């Protein structure tokens, strides 16, 4: 289960681009807290502390306790704007967790035991339909990932959400159908046939490009018929006129 991150922040009395630039010049990252039918609050986060948490990973799927000058908020980071060149945080949007403590979040799916899948051993391919699954869960019980075993999976088999073991209190957002997460697909016959055709065509192309054998007739000139053969000898000269 995910741990609760704690971050300290200070109130930012002014909103807007000018105040955000000033916060960055002071070594802070501007942010906003919204949601839960309360007034949005603009805050500043200390850059180094925020950057450490971002580098740890799972920042947007981990509940955060924000301490804003003594007032605490349980939030989830919904958007982190980053510098396009340095890839460092420029602004963060936090959403307050409701009174029921249930949040909506995407959880990654990890697949294990690939070597124990007969279908994959026979040349099958793991076709992942959903890399992440959206779920409802308590803010303090967010799973790091869902683990799916491929042991015994044959070609043509599908893995549905019902095969995923979820912790207590965690449920998928899509409830009206048993949707597919991944399948074991066979190798495409068309690819094999195309490769064989290419292999057969290669020797034929080489044969066509070879020089003609000795004694063979020359090919006609491009764009027209072959030129007629030259006459064997020049015509005899006319006899000289008599005097």
Given this model, what pLDDT does residue 212 score?
47
The CA distance from 66 to 95, in Å, is 11
Given this model, what pLDDT does residue 133 score?
95
As a whole number of Å, the CA-based R_g of the chain is: 37
**C-beta separation of 73 from 40 below 8 A:** no
Residue 200 has pLDDT above 60, yes or no: no
Condensed to tens digits (0 to 9), the pLDDT of residues 30-41 reads 999 998 888 899
Tokens of 190: 């068309």
Q: What's the mean per-residue pLDDT of the chain?
A: 80
**Where residue 2 falls among pLDDT bands split at 50, 70, 90?**
low
Tokens of 126: 């793991």
The CA distance from 81 to 189, in Å, is 45
132: β partners = 108
Condensed to tens digits (0 to 9), the pLDDT of residues 219-238 reads 444 444 444 444 444 454 45
The CA distance from 227 to 233, in Å, is 17
Give whole-number Cα distances, 237 to 231, 240, 242, in Å: 15, 9, 15
Residue 110 has pLDDT above 70, yes or no: yes
Position with higher pLDDT, 237 vs 103: 103
The CA distance from 23 to 55, in Å, is 21
Tokens of 205: 């192309």
Position with higher pLDDT, 198 vs 181: 181
Average pLDDT over residues 50-63: 88
**C-beta separation of 89 from 51 below 8 A:** yes
Given this model, what pLDDT does residue 189 score?
57
Residue 159 has pLDDT above 90, yes or no: yes
Given this model, what pLDDT does residue 210 score?
47
Enter the pTM of the model.
0.63
Domains and CATH numbers, the chain: 5-99 (2.40.240.10), 104-189 (2.170.120.20)
pLDDT above 70 covers a percentage of the chain that reads: 76
């Amino acid at each position: 289960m995910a741990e609760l991150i704690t971050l300290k922040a200070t109130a930012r009395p002014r909103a807007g681009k000018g105040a955000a630039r000033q916060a960055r010049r002071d070594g802070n990252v501007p942010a906003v807290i919204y949601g839960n039918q309360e007034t949005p609050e603009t805050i500043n986060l200390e850059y180094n502390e925020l950057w450490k948490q971002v580098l740890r990973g799972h920042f947007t799927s981990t509940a955060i306790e924000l301490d804003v000058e003594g007032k605490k908020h349980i939030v989830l980071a919904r958007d982190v704007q980053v510098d396009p060149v340095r890839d460092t945080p420029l602004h963060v949007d936090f959403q307050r967790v409701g009174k029921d403590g249930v949040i909506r979040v995407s959880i990654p799916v990890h697949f294990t035991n690939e070597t124990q899948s007969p279908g994959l051993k026979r040349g099958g391919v793991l076709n992942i339909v959903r890399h992440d699954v959206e779920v409802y869960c308590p803010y303090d019980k967010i799973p790091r990932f869902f683990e799916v075993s491929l042991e015994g999976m044959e070609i043509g088999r599908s893995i549905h959400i019902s095969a995923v073991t979820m912790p207590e209190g965690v449920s998928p957002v899509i409830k009206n159908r048993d949707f597919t997460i991944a399948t074991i697909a066979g190798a495409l016959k068309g690819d094999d046939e195309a490769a064989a055709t290419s292999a057969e065509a290669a020797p034929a192309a080489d044969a066509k490009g070879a020089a003609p054998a000795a004694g063979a007739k020359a090919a006609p000139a491009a764009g027209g018929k072959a030129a007629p053969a030259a006459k064997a000898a020049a015509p005899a000269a006319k006899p000289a006129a008599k005097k």
